[in-house]
Amino acid sequence: MASPKSPTPSSVLSSYGDIAIVGLGLIGSSLAVALRRSGYTGRIVGVSRETTLSEALKVNVIDEGMPYDRLHEAVEKTGLTILCSPIETIFKHLETIGKLQAQAGNVKVITDVGSTKKQIVEHARNHLQKGFHFIGGHPMAGSEKNGLAARDPFLFQNSIYALTPAPGVPWEEVEKLGKFLGEVGARMVVLQAEVHDRLAAAISHLPQLLAVSLVNLLDELGEHRDQGIRFAAGGFRDMTRIASSPFDIWRDIYKTNKTEVREIAQLFTQQLQKTCEEVGNEELRDRFDHAAQTRSQIPLDTKGFLRPLWAILVLIEDRPGLIADITSSLAGANLNIKDIEILKMRENEGGTLRLAFSTRREAESALTVLTQQGFEAKLRD
């Protein structure tokens, strides 16, 4: 999000006073600890089940706990409420909040973390009364683990966090929320809810269905199914990794975004049909070349699609302490590594280390530091 001048972190983090986080699973609890780590000093009121609240208080994730039947109290005593529940439950929470009346001159902001946005924004618009501003949210971050115990203060680092404000919400409120949530390390982008859902259908929701379908396709091999499973390493296994996701995670997503998913699936079917018609012909080369060119434009160094990081690649030996030497050298030059990844590593041979930075200038400075120390490195295209 662009702005003429960003406020200092302290003023950003004090924008709402106390906040309420409704639902203390992976996302809700991670938001709480990420905000604390960023310097947030207000009170965090958690709303969840009694057993979860007890544990959250014990490990200092929240300052105060309220069961779901006291949601209205949590909203009334805080300036920002973040709904971190499953989509169908978010609908119910919005209906509960919709029974409240905000006090004159005391605007309250409600946001959520649902993976689809159009129906949630519409629900908020239909139920929330005047004095409440609803700004839909979707942090594009997650983990194979879930629940309070899986909380991670770094979960949102370098991830895209989409905001989809309801019609009529002042831009300054959207900007304010974006800066507040941006303090957890996420990269904020504002979209219309419809646009978000169409993009999500193409880059997330349909790929999940494709992975499931590809794995189930092995059943069509008949007596050779078991051999197919044994051979399904490499590309097949990589492409279908997400097929292991439990349906419970996806049920509400497909229920609330089925129109967009079906339309995108039709477009994909047409694309696949055209591609298959060219199998065996030289014309297929153009599709391969175009796909390679498009894929090269996908950001490599973020968990989403906004403001990519600048990265360098460093060839490294396979010996203890080498990565520590590299990071210490860069820290000594006051260069902050935003992301780090071992791309390739073979035992006793070495590999490639990717280091990512916020700006090209920082990446070039890191390149200079490391090459002066004898490392073979280059700026990643």
Over the stretch 342-381, which tens digit does the pLDDT of each residue have? 765 555 556 788 898 877 889 999 999 999 998 888 887 6
Q: Mean pLDDT for the chain?
A: 88
pLDDT band at 144 (very low <50, low <70, confident <90, very high): low
Distance in angstroms (rounded) separating the CA atoms of residues 10 and 156 = 19
Residue intervals of the chain classified under CATH 1.10.3660.10 are 196-286
Distances in Å between the Cα of 120 and the Cα atoms of 128, 144, 161 are: 12, 25, 16
Question: How would CATH label the architecture of 196-286?
Answer: Orthogonal Bundle (1.10)
Do residues 370 and 314 lie in contact, with contact meaning Cβ atoms separated by under 8 Å? yes
The arithmetic mean of pLDDT across residues 176-191, rounded, is 93
pLDDT band at 193 (very low <50, low <70, confident <90, very high): very high
Distance in angstroms (rounded) separating the CA atoms of residues 37 and 28 = 14
3-state helix, strand, coil in the chain (%, to 5): 50, 15, 35
CATH of 14-191, one of 3.40.367.20, 3.40.47.10, 3.40.50.720, 3.40.50.150: 3.40.50.720
Burial grade of 321 (CB within 10 A; 0-12, 13-18, 19 or more): exposed
What's the pLDDT at 381? 60
Residue intervals of the chain classified under CATH 3.30.70.260 are 310-379
> Which CATH topology does 310-379 take?
Alpha-Beta Plaits (3.30.70)
Q: Does pLDDT of 16 surpass 80? A: yes
Dihedral (C-alpha) 56, 61, 65, 67: value to the nearest 10 degrees? -60
Global confidence as pTM: 0.75
Amino acid at 276: C
Tokens 């069509």 found at: 220
Q: Does pLDDT of 307 surpass 50? A: no
Residue intervals of the chain classified under CATH 3.40.50.720 are 14-191
Q: What is the pLDDT of residues 61-100, one digit of tens each?
A: 999 999 999 999 999 999 999 999 999 999 999 999 999 8
